Structure 1
Amino acid sequence: MENAPAAISGLSTYDTDLSHYLSPFLVQQASEKTKKDYWQEIKLFATWVQKPVQQVTSLDIIEYRRMLEAKGLKIATVYKRLSILRSFFTFISQTWQVPNPALPVRLPKMVDESSRAVLSLQEAMRFLSVIDPSTPLGKRDRAICALLLISGLRTCEVSRANVEDMHEIEGFKVLRVHGKGNKDADCKLREDIFGAIHSYMETRGETKAGDPIFLATGNLGRGRLTAQAIQVRVKHYFRKAGINKAQLTVHSLRHSCATLCLTVGKADLLSVQRLLRHGNIQTTLRYLKSIDHLRDNAVDRNPISLPGF
C-alpha cells in the first residue's frame, strides 16, 4: 500500500483510496470492455457503501446483494455484480494479505446455460426466412443473423468485425474474430455466408480496411453497429417469425448453432468446440448432455400407465 498507484481519474473525491486498489486490479484484466465493466460495477458499490475499501465488511456486501435483489434485477445481473466484487476483494486479499470480506458471501444460483431455449431446425429456417434481403438493411441483417446462427459468433464479435478481418487462407474464406478477453481466431465462412456479407458490402460503396463491416443506420448516423443494436434487430425477427419461447435470448442463436450441429448435422464434439472457440470442451459438452438427458430419460421406462391415454 505504500507504493499505491496514482488515482484513477473520474472517481469521486469522498474515497480516493479506492483508486489505489482499483488501478492495479484493472491492469490484470485483458479486455478494455472488461476493465470498463469492472470499473463501473465497483464504482457503483463504492458509491452505495460509502466506506474506504479496508472498512468494507461481509455484512456490507450481503446488504448490497439484498438491495440489488429488492430492485428486481435479474439473477444474472446480481450474479455478475457480486462476482466482480468477489474478484476485486480476492485480488486485494491476495495482494496485500488482508481478510477477504467477499469470501463468506454466497452468489445467487444461476440457471444452467444448457437449459437456455434453442431453435429447432424448422424454427431456425423460419427465423432466417422472415428477413427481407431486397433492401440494404435486410442484406445487413441477413448476414448478421447468419453469423450468429450458422457460424455461432457472439453479438460483440459481429459488432467488432472490420473489413480487413475478411481474408483467405489457402483458398478458404475466413473472418478474423475478435473474441472475449482479446482472443483472436480465424472463423471459416461458408460460401453462402460469405455471399451474404459480400451482398451487403456491395451496398456500402467504397470501404477502407479499418471500417466496420456492419454499420448502423438511421438518425444516429452510420457508425459501427453496436452489440446492443444487433440484439434489438434479432428480437425484431424473433417476433416477426412468431418465435416466442421462455428463456429465448439473442445468445440462444449461438446455443442453437451448437445444438443443431451436434444433433442434426452429426458434427463431432471437438469440431463444435473449435467452431465456438470454447477453451474447455466441457463447456461444449453441456449442449450434448442436455439433449441426451431428454432422449434417454428414465421416465420413458416407468411401467405405470395413465388410464385413458
Structure 2
Amino acid sequence: MLARVGMPQGLLHYNYGILWERFFQELGLEVIKSGETTRATLDCGSALDEICLPAKVYYGHAAKLNNQVDYLFAPRVISVNKGQYTCPKIIGMPDMLRNNISGMPPVIDVNVNLRQSSRNLYEAVAAIGKIVGKGKVASLYAWYKAWQHRNQPISKYSGRVDGPQVALIGHPYLIYDRQISMNVIEKLRHMGINVVTPEMVNASEVAQASKTLGKKIFWSSSHHLAGAAIALLTAKRPVDGVIFMTCFACGPDALIGELISQRAQSINIPCMQLSIDEHTAEAGFITRLEAFTDMLTRRWPL
C-alpha cells in the first residue's frame, strides 16, 4: 500500500501545489488533497483567534486531512525569492497546526528558504525524500521530473466578453478560492467584465514595473501584486479599472493597496478595495461589485 501524503489546499498551494503534488507522485506516494474550501472548512478555522482569514482556511483544510493520511505536507516556506520573505503566518503555519490539532500524523515541515541561495531548495527536496524513506538521488530526480510541470496556469478562465477590462489584484489563495472570494471572477464575467489577474502578467513586466515603486518590498507576494498592478495600469492599453481584494488585518496588503490606489488615481483609473473576512455578507459584496462595474460600463469605451 502506498504511503499517503496529505496536502491542504490553501495558502501557497495555489502557487506551488501542482509542482509538489507531481513530486510526491514521482516518488511513488499517494497524494490526498483536502478539496475545495467549503463553509465547514471556514467554520473549523474560525475557532482560532488573531490570524487572518486565509490562515484560518488553511487550518480547516489541514484538520480535514487529520486521521486520513500518513504524512501532512506543511513546509515552512520562509522565502521563495532572493532578498525577500513570505508572510510570517505562512512561516509559522507548521507550529500553529501542531499546537491546535491533536493526534496529527508526522508533519513534513522542512524549511524552504531561497532568500540567499537557491541551493536550499534542493536541500529541502532531499530532506523531504529522507522523511518518506527515499534516497537523495531519487528525490532530486523526482523533483526534476516535477519541475517540467511548473508552468501550468493557476487560472482556468479564458475567453473575452464585450465589456471593460478590470485588473483583479489579490493573492491567489484569495481570488481563486471560490468560497473565500465568493466566486468573484465568475461574478465579474457575468456582469460583462473582462478579468485580468496578476498571474496573467509576464514576470519580466512585473519586475520592470516594480522598479517604479521607489521602495523595495520585502514580501515576495506583495512585490508581485504591486508590480503586476502597475504593469497593467501603465500598459499601452491600460485596464479600465482595478479591484484590489484583500483580507481583513493583512498588514502587507494595507501598504500595497495604498500604493496601487495612489498610482491608479494619478492616471484617472477607478480603483476599489474589497476587504473580506469570515463575516462578509454576499449581498453587500455583490452590491459593491455591481456599483463599481456599472460605473465602468458607463465610462467604456472612453
How does the TM-score come out when normalised to structure 2? 0.29
> Where is the strand percentage greater, Structure 1 or Structure 2?
2
> Which has the larger Rg?
1
Greater fraction of residues in helix: 1
